[in-house]
Structure 1
Amino acid sequence: MRDRWSRFQLLLFWLTVLAVWAFEVEARKRVKLGLHKNPEPIEENIKNELKTLSIKHKLKADDTQATTKQDTKSQGTGSRVATLENRYNTEYYTTLGFGNPPQAMQVLIDTGSANLWVLSSKCPDSVAPCANRIKYNSSASTTYRAINSTFSIAYGSNSEDGPIALSGFQSQDTVNFGGYSIKNQIFAEINYAPDTAFLKSEFVGIVGLGFSSIAMGGITPPFYNLVAEGLISRAVFSIYLNRNGTDATHGGELILGGTDSGLYSGCLTYVPVSSAGYWQFTMTSATVNGFQFCENCEAILDVGTSLIVVPEPVLAAINQILGVLDATPSNGVYQVNCSTVSELPDVVLTIARRKFPLKFSDYVLRYGNTCVSGFTSMKGNNLLILGEIFLGAYYTVYDTVYKLIGLAPAVH
């Protein structure tokens, strides 16, 4: 009788363990990230990526290319040479389902913005970015609801009003995000975009993962609705980027509602958000070869750009240390010598008293026999923007309630 009772207790214990495990699995969803090679020459990607950054951060876009002072060396994320015409930048995207029945749309994930928008079927083919594209068709959805509000995202310019980068109108529908159906999600349908808005990318929208305070029009971001509707138990998401992926199924993972300790090594280091808009924090320091280019400076994590963006004066000094081959290229792309990149120093970022080094293999991008740098600058920007060059090396966690950022070395 005692043995039977012991076996019963053991069975009960394992059933409890399995139930807890099942709850944890259900409480977090993995969203596979596709990795798309952008079929544009590197020099064109640099120019348009700076414009994209200006849209998000409301800065002045340079209509030519980013350049630095004549007497110093500088660098960016690509190369100006003709041999780079077939080399491409990287984008991380996932598929969301809009409406009922669901319409599958590939959207870029972006921690530097907070809105969800997608190309609209009401955007005519005469608007270049909308031509021959998959677009959301509200008339094909039984759960669609019209909202009589316009939507726009603008970036600054020398004109008084400034050009509108993207414009459209708000709509409401069911949105499937990572296997969760969000009811009555408000998002933007875009019916106008400038010719260079999407290049030849496969994505037809963006899902913003920034704080709701920076959402245009006061629209509640999808992640906040996941929490509000009780679809996830923790207001946390985490991101793992695969920098070596070459197809649409191995780009990385966006985990909604939790973390995965198998994707990083060691312990997570947490730092408080200093300003809840972007995922912004105060970085203790940043150095390269003894040159300190940050001391208690403000930085943001930005999945959505492949670059590390530093203030203009800082870029000039960094690139002089790295020895770029052309200090003032006409296309804003800065090349380094491939034969000596292994001798380049580590870039060391100190966050919450922990060092996060970037080796040359992290911040130098190789395209065949051409090597370019992952650093750039942008007019009007005083933040240190850590894009996918940094985020590919480190697994990151984002807590919207406690306003914390977690970081640890990614396991590749």
Structure 2
Amino acid sequence: MRRLLLVVLLFWTSSALVRVPLRRVRSIRAQLRAHGLLDQFLKHHRPDMFNRRYAQCFPPGTSSLRLGRSSEKIYNFMDAQYYGEISLGTPEQNFSVVFDTGSADLWVPSSYCVSQACASHRHFRAFESTSFHHDGRMFGIHYGSGNLLGIMARDTLKVAGLTALNQEFGESVYEPGATFVMARFDGVLGMGYPALAEILGNPVFDNMMAQNLVDEPVFSFYLSRKTSNGSLEGELLLGGTDEALYNGPINWLPVTAKGYWQIEMDSVAVQGERLFCPRGCQAIVDTGTSLITGPTNDILILQQHIGATPTNTGEFLVDCVRLSSLPHVTFVLGGTEYSLTAEHYVRKEMFGDREMCFSGFQAVNIVSHEGPLWILGDVFLRQVYSVFDRGQDRVGFAPARHRTEQ
């Protein structure tokens, strides 16, 4: 009887962890560069120009049209690389989405969408779902590099083995610009705090917690460094953590502002020398962007220290031959040092038959009440196992165990 009870307990415990496989693909920025379109794209998708061109298409008073809030997003989805599958409706309609801790809305293209971007992506067909609830209110989201306009709705959402009823989401009907034309994903599933949401109602993970779908109010990410050879490319775990994917204890940091997953960073050092935010600064932990970003002045100095030279697209090139001689860049969080080598912070891309190396650091000015914000994107998150705890409002990091890549 004891053995039977133990087996049942182990099965129940393991089933409480829901695993969502993540795929890693070439970013929109890399695709644009490969087609020789990046320079033209950036010229026509500056946030100020986009506002002037499309602001009249959005509901009056759309808060996300503020430039201060949207400036970060021009880099967000242009560099998104990891996405997974969800389904909406009854019977199920499948979509690929970016699981984004830097936003809080769920949206997918509508069957009524009139934009070019929707032609190459899956659409939600409300009239085919028996569990669909019409809302009808309009919403607008401005991402800087891609805007969208849509209507709100509610339906059954399935993520791996979890079913959330009456989930609020957006049906996108208008996606101007070229950003989402190039995207490999259909939509976005935001995992930030409700304060970030443009769509009224509970964000997805809040809805899961309210319906007691997860054993713990925790989700965690494992992001692989590789995309081939059959290895695990990435994984989102809902309801807890997987000790097989990380080493050592988890280093916990309290959330300092409940919007983004925002934490305090002690400092940033280059080759052991503390150069940036020596008295501490704020950072966002963002799975929706591949880069590490910081204030312009700091990032320009950092590019100089790693020998990166600017391009006409605002990116910085590094000599691929010199990678082994480049300095370590160390982020100190909660007293723990996370050192990145050039192999970690340099992005390698093939341009024809030539390999090019780009700095994984980008200048983005985001102003908050606590001062300028840094963004710890996938360049950082690939080196750690990241845990997001809504129950205790904290973020945890532990060294990732890339066992299949050794």
Structure 2 residue 376 is matched with structure 1 residue 372: no
**Counterpart-to-counterpart distance in 2, 1:230 and 1:379:** 38
SS of the residue corresponding to residue 182 of structure 2 reads: coil
Residues 107 and 248 (structure 1), Cα distance of their counterparts in 2 relative to 1, 3 Å cut: farther
What residue number does 2:69 align with? 58
1:389 aligns with 2:388: no
Aligned partner of 2:341 among 344, 359, 362: 359
What is the CA–CA distance in structure 2 between the aligned matches of 1:177 and 1:110, rounded to whole Å?
Answer: 14
From 184, 191, 196, the equivalent of 1:202 is 184
User: Following the alignment from structure 1 to structure 2, what is the Cα–Cα distance between the partners of residues 263 and 165?
Assistant: 36
Alignment of 1:282-297 (within 5 A): 282-289=264-271, 290-295=273-278, 296-297=280-281
> Equivalent residues in 2 for 1:249-398 (5 A)?
250-289=232-271, 290-295=273-278, 296-324=280-308, 326-327=309-310, 329-368=311-350, 369-380=355-366, 382-398=372-388
User: Taking structure 1 as reference, are residues 96 and 291 closer, same or farther at Cα in structure 2, changes over 3 Å only?
Assistant: same
Secondary structure, aligned partner of 1:216: coil
Secondary structure of 1:176's aligned partner = strand
Q: Give the aligned residue type for 1:374.
A: G
**CA displacement at 1:197 relative to structure 2:** 2.6
Shift of 1:198: 1.3
Structure 1 counterpart of 2:277, one-letter code:
C
Instruction: Report what 1:405 is aligned to.
Output: 395
CA distance in 2, matches of 1:178, 1:36: 20
- Cα distance, 1:15 vs structure 2: 2.1
| Matching of residues 236-255 of structure 1 within 5 Å | 236-246=218-228, 250-255=232-237
Q: Show the counterpart of 1:19.
A: 8
| Distance in 2 separating the partners of 1:204 and 1:251 | 19
Residue 69 of structure 1 corresponds to none
Q: 1:45 to 1:198 in 2, by over 3 A?
A: farther
CA displacement at 1:108 relative to structure 2: 1.0
| Structure 1 segment 171-186 matched on structure 2, within 5 A | 171-186=153-168
Deviation at 1:154, TM superposition (A): 2.6
Q: Which moved more, 1:32-41 or 1:174-183?
A: 32-41
Quick one: higher RCO (CA 8 Å, sep 6+), 1 or 2? Answer: 1
Residues 97 and 175 in structure 1, CA contact (< 8 A), matched pair in contact too: yes
Mapped contact 1:50–1:61 kept (Cα < 8 A):
no
Matched residue of 2:268: which SS?
strand
Question: What amino acid maps onto 2:124 in structure 1?
Answer: Y
Quote the Cα distance in structure 2 between the aligned partners of 1:171 and 1:90: 26
**Would you say 1:113 and 2:103 are equivalent positions?**
yes
The ranges of structure 1 where at least 4 consecutive aligned residues each deviate by more than 6 angstroms after the TM superposition are 45-57
- Percent identity for Structure 1 against Structure 2: 33
Tell me the residue number matched to 1:84: none
Aligned partners of 2:130 and 2:178: how far apart in 1? 33
Q: Secondary structure in 2 aligned to 1:23?
A: helix
Shift of 1:50: 8.4
User: Aligned match of 1:30 in 13, 19, 22?
Assistant: 19
**Contact 1:45-1:89 at 8 Å conserved across structures:** no
Provide the secondary structure at the position in 2 that maps to 1:113: coil
Alignment of 1:214-225 (within 5 A): 214-225=196-207
**Unpaired runs of 5+ in structure 2?**
51-63
Q: Structure 1 residue 345: deviation in Å? A: 1.1
Aligned counterparts of 2:109 and 2:66: Cα–Cα separation in 1: 17
Matching of residue 232 in structure 1 with residue 218 in structure 2: no
Residue 299 of structure 1 aligns to a residue in which SS? strand
2:116 aligned with 1:128: yes
Local SS of the residue matching 1:191: strand
Q: Is the 8 A contact 1:212 1:218 kept in 2?
A: no
CA deviation map 1:15-68 (0-9, x unaligned):
2321221121121101111222343326856966986999997144799xx9xx
- The separation in 2 between residues aligned to 1:291 and 1:306, in whole angstroms, is 24
CA drift of 1:190 comes to: 0.5
1:106 aligned partner, one-letter code: S
Distance, in Å, in 2 between the alignment partners of 1:61 and 1:389 is 16
CA–CA distance in 2 between the matches of 1:24 and 1:57?
A: 44
CA shift in 2, pair 1:62/1:253, >3 Å: closer
Q: How many residues align?
A: 368
- Say which is worse superposed, 138-147 or 369-378, in terms of deviation: 369-378
* CA contact 1:59–1:380 (8 Å) conserved in 2: no
Q: Which has the larger radius of gyration?
A: 1
One-letter identity of the residue aligned with 1:361: E
Deviations 1:346-401 (A, max 9, x none): 11111111111111111011224321110011245521101100011110000112
* Matched residue SS, 1:166: strand
SS in 2 for 1:271: strand
Alignment partners' CA distance in 2, 1:101 and 1:249: 32
- Please list the CA deviations of residues 287-322 of structure 1 after superposition, one character each: whole Å capped at 9, or x if unmatched: 113252123100011001111111000011101111
Q: For 1:202 and 1:319, how far apart are their aligned partners in 2?
A: 30
Q: Distance in 2 between matches of 1:248 and 1:207?
A: 26
Conserved 8 A contact 2:150-2:171: yes
Give the aligned CA root-mean-square deviation in angstroms.
Answer: 2.8
- Over 3 Å counting, the alpha-carbon distance change for 1:56 and 1:399 in structure 2 is farther
